[in-house]
Amino acid sequence: MASITLKNFSFSYELAQKESLKDINFSFDSGKVYGIIGSNGAGKSTLLHAIRGFIPKYYPGSYTGDILIGDQSVFHMSSSELAHQIGFVFQNPFTQISGVKATVYEEVAYGLENLGLAKEEIENRVDRILKETGLSELAKRHPYQLSGGQQQRVALASVLVMDQDIFLIDEPTSQLDPESSQHILETIAQLKEKGKTILLVEHELDFLSQLADELLVLVDGQVIEHGPSSTVFSDSHLLRYGIPVPKIVRFKEKLQKKAIYLSPKLLSAESVASQLLQVKKDGQLKKTSQFHKMDKGLSKDLQVKATKTEAIKTEAPITKAPTTKDPTTKAPTTKAPTTKVPITEAPIRDENSFSNISSKETLLDIRQVSYSYPNGQKAVKDISFTIHSGQRLAIIGQNGAGKTTTVKLLNGLIRPDSGQVLYRGIDTKDMTTAQLTHHVGYVFQNPDDQLFNASVYDELAYSLKKLAHHQKEIDDIDRKVHYFANLCGIEDYLGHNPYDLPLSTRKLVAIAAILTLDPEVVILDEVNAGQDFNGMRQIQDIINQLSQKGKAVITITHDMEFVAECMDQLLVLMDGRIVQASTPLEIFCQRTLLKQAHLHPPLSIEISQALGIPPKTLDMDGLADQVASYLSTN
C-alpha cells in the first residue's frame, strides 16, 4: 500500500530561475526503505521538505501537482496532522536540538511530553531508543556538551522516539563513527519491520546499499532512475552526474579490465571475496562475463527499470549545484542577492597567494597536554605528538573520543590544563588566540559557527581587509579572493549570501575564508561530511595543493576511504588518549586496535583480509593487481 504518492509534482523556490523539482511521479510503499541519491543541489532535501509540508509554507515558492499522504494532500493537512504522521530529521543537528533541555534524556523525551503521554510510556520509549542509538551512557549529559556526531544521534533519537508512520531522514550518518552508523542501520531496519515508511538522503552509499529496498536517483530535480541497489549500482555510470558509487563497484570494474568478472549484485567486501575464492577454487579466470553484459554503460536490467528522461542522455557531468536548490534548515533558499563582485584581470592560479614552507620543519609540538571541560569531563589526557610541514594527518576515533577538543587546543580556542602546545618553539600560552589563528587555521565542524558576512566575497575578503595596512595589500585583496574562491570551487557563488547555499557549499566557503590568512597549519573538522563526489574531489585537490606548498593539513573524519586516499599519517584517539600513531596501512591492518577504537578498515583491507592475503596497499589499482596475481597462482 502506498503511504506517499507524488503526482506530477514540480516546485520552484521564490525568485529562482529554475525548477528544483520537475514533474515527479512516484509512490512510496509502507514497510520499505527508500534511498534518495544525487549530487549536491539535485533536489534531495527539497523533496523531503515538500513531502513533510514545509514547502511552500516555510520555503516560499510555487508548485504544481500534488503530494498525498494516504489519500490526503499535504497541502490541505494542518501542521499538527503532518507532525503526528511524519518524523523529520534535518541534515544539520545543531539547528534541530531544542536548546531548552538540560540533558540528553530530557531532549529525547521532549516531543513525547508535548503529546501528553503517560510518564511510564515516555520512560519506556526513551530508554528503548537511547539503547538502540547507543546513547544510554550519555543520557545525563547536556546536548550542547556533546560532540557533533553524538548530537546527530540525539537529533535522530528525538524523532524516532515519536514512532510516526513515516520517517524522512536527511544525511543521518554524515558525522557518525562506523559503530554509531551500524546502530542507526539496525534501528532503521527495525522500523522497516514495523511497517514504517523510511526515506533516506545519504551520501554514504555502502550504508545505503545495505539498507534500502529501492534507490531513487535525482539529477537536476528529476528522478532519472530507480530500482534496487544491485541494479542502480551495477556499474559506475552515475559518476557522469557527479553521483558517487560504492567503492566496491569501481573495484569490480578494475578487475574487469583484467578479465575477472564478478556479479553486479555483489556490493559487500565479503560477497566479492567469496566469489573470488570460488574463482580461485575453480582454477581459471572467466575470459567472458557471464554476469555483467553491458550496453552503452548501463546493464540491460537497469535499462528496463530506469526511468528515462532527457537528463540521462547528456554526457556533461553536473559539477556545481545551482544555489536555488536543497535548502538547509538555516534559511530558505532564494535567489542570490545582487552584491556586485569586482572583476579581476589577475590570473587565478597565482602561486604567490600561498607562502612556501621548507620541508620537514616542526610547526607544532604538543607535549603531555591534558584538558578538562568546566563540568569536570576529562576530554584530553596526556597527549604528545608533533606536526611537520607538508604533513597530512588524520585524527580518527569514535564520537566523543576527544578529536575536536584536541584540535581546538592547537589554535588557542581552548587552553591546556597542563602540558605545552608549542608553535615553532613558542609556547602558545604566550600568544593570543587572534595571533595564533594567523598561523593555525581551524575550519569548524559546523560552518554556521564561522560565517557571518552578507556575501561569499565579503566573507573571503574580511580577514584580508583587516590585515591590509598598505595600499599594495589593499589592491591585492580582490586577486586573493578570486584565487581562493577558485581553489575551493566556489567562484560562481561570490555574490551569494552564504546562508542561501547548501551546507556542503558553506563548508567550502569556510575553508576558503580560513585559507585567505595563509596559515601554515590548516585544520579541517569533519569537512567532508555531506559532500558529494565532486565536493570530495574538490577537498582532495585543496589538501594536495596545501601539502605541496608545505602546509600541514590536519583533518578529523569518520570516512576511512577518504583517509586511505588522502592522508599519510594517522592518530587514533580513544577516551581522550592517543593509542596509536602510524601510517594508514599499518593502522588499518590492526584488527584488534580498530575494534577497540570502534573503527572499520577501508575496502581494500577488508577484501585482502577476507581473501587471506597480506594487505600491501590501500590503492584500488594496486589491490586489483594483487588479486589478479593471487588468482593466477596455484
Q: Could you read off the pLDDT of 503-533 as tens digits, one per residue?
A: 889 999 999 999 999 999 999 998 888 788 8
Is the Cβ–Cβ distance between 174 and 529 less than 8 Å? yes
* Mean pLDDT for the stretch of residues 113-126: 93
Q: How far is CA 368 from the centre of its chain?
A: 32
* CA dist., res. 455 & res. 470, Å (int): 24
For residue 222, pLDDT beyond 70: yes
The backbone torsions φ and ψ at residue 522, rounded to the nearest 5 degrees and listed phi first, read: -120, 125
Go through 95-110 and write b for each residue having 16 or more CB atoms within 10 A of its CB, e for each that does not. Answer: ebbeeebeebbbbbbb
Residue 308 has a pLDDT of 36
pLDDT score recorded for residue 294: 38
Q: Which residue segments constitute the domains of the chain, with CATH numbers given?
A: 2-241 (3.40.50.300), 246-283+603-633 (no CATH), 362-602 (3.40.50.300)
Predicted local distance difference test score (pLDDT) of residue 16: 84
- Closest of 306, 300, 327, 293 to residue 241, by C-alpha: 306
Q: Reduce the DSSP state of residue 52 to 3 states and report it.
A: helix
Cβ atoms of 169 and 198 closer than 8 Å: yes
pTM for the model: 0.80
Question: Cβ distance 503 to 91 under 8 Å?
Answer: yes
Mean pLDDT of 628-634: 85
* CA dist., res. 619 & res. 370, Å (int): 36
Task: Kindly give the interhelix angle for 119-132 and 104-114, rounded to the nearest 10 degrees.
Answer: 130
Please give the single-letter amino acid code of residue 78.
S
**DSSP code per residue over 501-538:** S-HHHHHHHHHHHHHTT--SEEEEESTTTT--HHHHHH
Cβ-based burial of 308 (10 A; exposed 0-12, middle 13-18, buried ≥19): exposed
* Bigger pLDDT: 224 vs 173: 224
Q: What pLDDT is attached to residue 475?
A: 86
Instruction: Please give the DSSP secondary-structure letter assigned to residue 242.
Output: T
Supply the Cα-derived Rg of the chain in whole angstroms: 25
Tell me the H-state helices in 226-350. Answer: 229-232, 247-256, 269-282, 300-305
pLDDT (mean) for 333-338: 36
What's the pLDDT tens digit per position in 225-273? 999 988 999 888 888 888 888 889 989 999 999 999 998 888 888 999 9
**What is the rounded distance in angstroms from the CA atom of residue 303 to the CA atom of residue 181?**
32
Alpha-carbon gap, residue 422 to 419, rounded angstroms: 10
The answer, yes or no, to whether residue 357 has pLDDT greater than 80, is no
When pLDDT is cut at 50, 70 and 90, the band that residue 284 belongs to is low
DSSP for 350-368 reads: -GGGS----TT-EEEEEEE
- pLDDT for residue 183: 79
Of 331, 244, 318, give the one whose Cα is nearest residue 506.
331
pLDDT in tens, 28-78: 999 999 999 998 889 999 999 999 999 999 999 999 999 999 999 999 999
pLDDT of residue 306: 39
Cis peptide bond N-terminal to 416, omega within 30: no
Q: Enter the C-alpha cell of residue 173.
A: 550518518
Say if residue 565 is exposed, middle or buried (CB neighbours under 10 Å; 0-12, 13-18, 19+).
Answer: middle
CB contact at 8 A, 226 and 218:
no
For Cα atoms 315, 264, 39, give the angle at the middle one, nearest 5 degrees: 40
Residue the block writes with cell 551569494? 496
Q: Residue 11: in which H helix or E strand, if any?
A: strand 2-13
Amino acid at 562: F
Mean pLDDT of 571-594: 96
Q: What is the mean pLDDT of residues 205-223?
A: 90
Query: Cα(590)–Cα(582) distance, rounded to whole angstroms?
Result: 11
What stretches of 233-350 adopt beta strand conformation (E)?
294-295, 298-299
Amino acid making up residue 568: D
Name the pairing type of β-strands 521-525 and 418-423: unpaired
Question: Is the pLDDT confidence value at 325 over 80?
Answer: no
Residues above pLDDT 70, as percent of the chain: 87
pLDDT > 90: what percent of the chain? Answer: 61
Q: Is the pLDDT of residue 290 over 50?
A: no
How deeply is 78 buried, as exposed, middle or buried, from its count of CB atoms within 10 A (0-12, 13-18, 19+)?
Answer: exposed
Residue 545: C-alpha distances to residues 377, 522, 538 (Å): 38, 12, 11
How big is the CA angle at 415 (ends 409 and 421), to the nearest 5 degrees?
60
163 φ, ψ to 5°? 60, 45
Among the residues of 387-502, which ranges form H helices?
Answer: 403-410, 433-437, 456-467, 471-475, 477-487
For range 317-324, the mean pLDDT: 34
